[in-house]
């Protein structure tokens, strides 16, 4: 069985090594489009919809496993994973439901918190490309991703829905990440 087969079967956990911010339009060339269009439809003329309006079950079965939903703690600025899809468990090798980002031993935790903080401050979607690599640093898995704000009071982002398309064309997204990475970044 190849390393790719092991990874696809969830037998090799991954850790994100490189993340590059990109345009929302860029990631809409992937399954990120479905999640963005649903969110955009719900928000209408507002900055963002509320959590009570957002229903995960209205997304397609291919999308839901790669969704994560986070509650934002504005005082300590941290996030708590409210929902962590089963596809993310298979790809990343862990279930983060109920855990805080600051409580996880991740090398990328500060960068991820900064990304979530940007969503809160800008009250706007945030798009990126992941390079998730197996714990053996052998098999890269590239994924376009999007983070979308939710606002229960129509003023403050208190929940963020995130989606990573780990089913996307690996060559295409790997090339895009490498083209946008800073010189010297491992991509």
- Has residue 124 got a pLDDT over 90? yes
**CATH, residue 25:** 3.30.450.20
Q: Is residue 187 part of a domain?
A: no
**pLDDT bucket at 182, cuts 50 / 70 / 90:** low
CB of 48 within 8 A of CB of 151? Answer: yes
Q: Is residue 66 part of a domain?
A: yes
Domain count, the chain: 1
Q: pLDDT tens across 107-122, in order?
A: 778 888 999 999 999 9
Q: Is residue 40 part of a domain?
A: yes
Average pLDDT, the chain: 86
Q: Is residue 186 part of a domain?
A: no
DSSP assignment letter at 182 = P
Section 34-43 average pLDDT? 98
For residue 35, the enclosing domain spans 3-180
Gap between the Cα atoms of 15 and 97, Å rounded: 17
pTM here is 0.86
């Amino acid at each position: 069985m190849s390393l790719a087969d092991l990874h696809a079967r969830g037998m090799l956990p991954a850790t994100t090594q490189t993340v590059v911010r990109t345009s929302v339009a860029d990631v809409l060339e992937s399954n990120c489009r479905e999640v963005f269009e649903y969110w955009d439809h719900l928000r209408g003329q507002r900055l963002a919809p509320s959590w009570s309006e957002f229903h995960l079950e209205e997304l397609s079965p291919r999308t839901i496993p790669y969704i994560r939903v986070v509650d934002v703690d504005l005082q300590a600025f941290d996030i708590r994973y409210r929902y962590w899809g089963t596809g993310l468990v298979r790809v990343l090798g862990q279930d983060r439901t109920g855990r805080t980002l600051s409580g996880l031993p991740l090398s990328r935790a500060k960068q991820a918190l900064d990304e979530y903080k940007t969503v809160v401050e800008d009250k706007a979607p945030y798009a990126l490309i992941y390079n998730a690599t197996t714990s053996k640093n052998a098999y890269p898995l590239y994924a376009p991703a999007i983070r979308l704000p939710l606002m229960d009071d129509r003023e403050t982002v208190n929940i963020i829905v995130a989606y990573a398309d780990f089913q996307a064309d690996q060559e295409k997204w790997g090339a895009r990440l490498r083209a946008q990475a800073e010189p010297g970044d491992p991509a």
